[in-house]
Amino acid sequence: MNKVSVVIAARNEERNIRRCLESVKWADEIIVIDDMSTDRTSEIARLFTENVFSRESQGDFHRNKNFGLSQASGEWILSLDADEVIPPELTQEIKQTIESSLLLGYSINRKNFFLGKWIKGCGWWPDYILRLFRKGAACWPLAIHDVPRIEDKKRVGLLKNSFLHYSYFSLNQYFDKFNLFTTQVAKEEYAKGIRLSLRNIFLLLFLKPLYWFVKKYFFLRGFQDGFRGFFICFSSALAIFVTYSKLWEIEQAKK
């Protein structure tokens, strides 16, 4: 029988992590990497597993995810965030699938919730992401906005059932993460050599955010999700503007 290791990276997730861990109690092994939380995240995690590691991510959350992968002993890895849940029907499908699988991994459709509601527009649905894979077949890229991939697409399957992602429960939480996200992406852009100039400042600060809003709100049907859809599309465009504004700030500090 193939062994499944669930790997979860978390920081200050006492509100969510119990629900997540309850949904994967069936796994052979659970590994939690706690990013030096200041709440009860580690305490709650230890009610479900002895494999709880406290490790500073230094602002790069994916490093902790990859550390968790290195600690796993299962043939199969199920990589999750603390605000995600595996429903019973998906649990059963995972167990049945891996017993006879010849593939390297499976992408699973993620059902994203925002402020308590399932978001069907904004490009949030369908949202297939590689989360179940053989150990060593994939890892988390260090770019904050990137996801695991297996280059040989023929060796990646799709599961029928979805998992649940309770992304944000309040606007305060959203803007806390918004600030961290835009700061990290600005640093990544600077490291890649991207700089603001007279040639690209209008494109990066105005045209790109506008294009992103129009695409998500109209073409990806964000309007069908009411105010939540408008907020997601607008704040996604705003994130681009803020990211490149922070890039400018980094440039000024380096001079």
The answer to whether the beta carbons of residues 84 and 163 sit under 8 Å apart is yes
Domain boundaries of the chain, sorted by first residue:
4-168, 171-254
Element (H, E) at 118: strand 117-118
Cβ burial of 169 (10 Å; 0-12, 13-18, 19+) is middle
Q: What is the mean pLDDT of residues 194-216?
A: 97
Task: Output the pTM of the full model.
Answer: 0.93
User: Model confidence at 215, in pLDDT bands (50, 70, 90)?
Assistant: very high
For the cut 90, the answer to whether the pLDDT of residue 142 exceeds it is no
pLDDT digits (tens, 9 = 90+) for 45-101: 999 999 999 999 887 889 999 999 999 999 999 999 999 999 999 999 999 999 999
Task: Give the span between the Cα atoms of 255 and 250, in whole angstroms.
Answer: 9
User: Model confidence at 159, in pLDDT bands (50, 70, 90)?
Assistant: very high
The answer to whether the beta carbons of residues 64 and 32 sit under 8 Å apart is no
Residue 171 has φ and ψ, to the nearest 5°, of -70, -30
Q: Which CATH superfamily is domain 4-168 in?
A: Spore Coat Polysaccharide Biosynthesis Protein SpsA; Chain A (3.90.550.10)
